[in-house]
Every structure is written in structure tokens, then in C-alpha cells.
Amino acid sequence: MRSLRQCHAVFGMLAGLMLFLKSGSVLPAEGPGEIRFKSGEMGLIPFLELVSEKLDVSIDASGIGGGGSETVAVPELGALSRDRAQALVLTSLTLAGYTWIHDTAAEMYRVVRLREARDQEIPVISDFAKLPDSDLLVTYVMPIQHASPEFIARNMRSFMPAHSRIIPSASIGAVLITDSAHNIAKLKKLVDRLDTPQAAKQAKEWLARKASQAEASCPAPASDRPGPQTGILIALFSLIALVIGFLARGYVIRRIEGGL
């Protein structure tokens, strides 16, 4: 009986230990160059403190409003490299409405709202192959080969979030896009379908038709057509000239009769 009780106690301890490990409260040991984040939902500020510790970086979170009450959901991804860990941080911040900007002068990352980040010091990339596979906010100089940059910018704005920016530049034949690298990669696929000789020709024809329709529907300038006031003045002067003519004729007739 005593040995049976001891067996039950041992089995109970083993079952409790297995449940404890399964719950994820203890993370596996990190190997060389590996970074692990505890999955689950946590506050934004505690998450950034964890990131600062795991990545060994300085983070300025003073740009977070609302007392840092926002939360982030960290998925279970296992061991990550440093680059993938940074990509996870950027995605988590983006979903919460934030991003971070690397301050090279102070050697720290500043967390700011997405709508304010586009005016900060962000990387400028002109080679699509060097676009990072993350939600890092960048400015990409996208070359345009066939269509006009204005046409591309006008059509792409509908597919871009409010915090992004697209500026056409005809002088360099490109559009400058400020957005996350992931969004820019999606826009590049759409631009490639519009920036073709056939699409550019159709766009020019469409713009020409719209311009012709606008000119046809536009009323003629006031100087090219007589207005109502001009017509009244012409009629008035004509009447005055007619009256003066009759008066002059009567005067001449009377002088002739008086002379006779």
C-alpha cells in the first residue's frame, strides 16, 4: 500500500511538470544567434522592454501616446534570427499603429506613430532587390519606363494607406513612394502591369479624349461673344444716330426753303 501511494505521488509530479512545460511559461534555451519571444498578448511598453533586452538595443518609447495602453499579440514562431526578430517587432508595431525609426546620431530606435514617421529620417532605396522583407518604413525610388509618373501616382494612391506618400517626378522618370517595404513590394506588382507600352498608349488616348471633352463642354470666353449689355449699347447708339439723321435732314430742308 505504501509503495502504491509513492507511485501515485511520482506520477502526479511528472504530470504537473509536463503541464508546466506545455503551458509555455518556460522558454527553451536560446542557441547561438537565436532569439525567442514568449507568445501571447502583452502591453506595448512591456513588449518594447522585452525587445530591448533580447536585441540589446536602446529604444525611445516617448512617442507612444495614451499612456502606452496599447497591446500587441506575439505569435509562436520558435527560434528566430536577429533579422527575423526585428521583422516581427516591426510587424507588431505596425499592427498597433506605430513603427520605429533608427536614429543613427543617438544609436537608438525611436517609436513613433505611422502618420508622423514619414517625415523622419528613413532609408532611401533605389534598388528593388535591396528592399527589406519586413514592414520597415522606407522611401523607394521606383523607375517608370513607359507611362507618365503622374498617371502611375494617380492610380496608385487608392491602394495606399493614409500614412503613406507617393510623389511623381517627371524629371527623373520615377515615383517616390514612402511606405512599408511589404506594401511597396505589392505596389511594384501593380505598377509593372500599368507601366507597359500598351497600357501607356491606352492611357494617353484616354487622357486625350478627356481633354477634348473638357474643351467641348467649356463655354467660350466672354470676350468672344457679345453679352447682353453690349447688344443694348449697340441698339441705343443706333437709335441715337437715327434721330440725329432725321434732325439733320429737317434742318437742311428748312434752310433750303428759307433761301427760296
Lowest mean per-residue pLDDT among 26-35, 207-216, 221-230: 221-230
Instruction: Give the sign of the dihedral formed by CA 108, CA 109, CA 110, CA 115.
Output: positive
Q: How many CB atoms lie within 10 A of CB 165?
A: 13
CB 125 within 8 A of CB 131: yes
Higher-confidence residue: 210 or 42? 42
The pLDDT score that the predictor gives to residue 66 is 66
Name the amino acid, one letter, at 54.
Answer: K
d(CA 101, CA 118): 10
Q: Which amino acid is at 247?
A: L
Supply the pLDDT for residue 219.
62
| Position with higher pLDDT, 222 vs 173 | 173
117 or 223, which is more confident: 117
Residues near 114 by beta carbon (within 8 Å), at least 6 away in sequence: 94, 97, 98, 99, 137, 161, 163
pLDDT at 240: 76
The boundaries of every CATH 3.55.50.30 domain in the chain are 27-117
Report the DSSP beta bridge partners of residue 41. 73
Task: Over range 99-127, report the average pLDDT.
Answer: 92
Per-chain mean pLDDT for the chain: 80
User: What's the CATH architecture for 27-117?
Assistant: 3-Layer(bab) Sandwich (3.55)
Mean of the pLDDT values across residues 86-97?
A: 93
Going through the chain in order, the beta strands assigned E by DSSP cover: 40-43, 59-60, 71-74, 98-103, 108-113, 124-125, 137-143, 165-169, 174-180
In angstroms, the Cα distances linking 42 to 68, 92, 242 are: 11, 11, 96
Q: Please choose, from the candidates 31, 123, 116, the residue with its C-alpha nearest in 3D space to the C-alpha of residue 79.
A: 31
pTM for this structure? 0.67
Q: From CA 56, how far away is CA 59, in angstroms rounded?
A: 10
- Signed CA dihedral, 132, 134, 137, 141: sign only: positive
- The CATH classification number of 124-216 equals 3.30.1370.120
How many DSSP H helices and E strands does the chain contain? 8, 9
Report d(CA 249, CA 259) in Å as an integer: 16
How far is 218 from 140, CA to CA, in rounded Å? Answer: 40
- 130, pLDDT greater than 50: yes
Task: With a cut of 50, say whether residue 17 has pLDDT above it.
Answer: no
Average the pLDDT over 65-84 and give the result.
Answer: 84
- Chain region(s) in the chain for CATH 3.30.1370.120: 124-216
User: Helix, strand, or coil here: 179?
Assistant: strand
pLDDT tens, residue by residue, 167-218: 999 999 999 999 999 999 999 999 999 999 988 888 788 778 877 787 777 6
Q: Smallest Cα–Cα separation from 51: which of 92, 23, 21?
A: 92
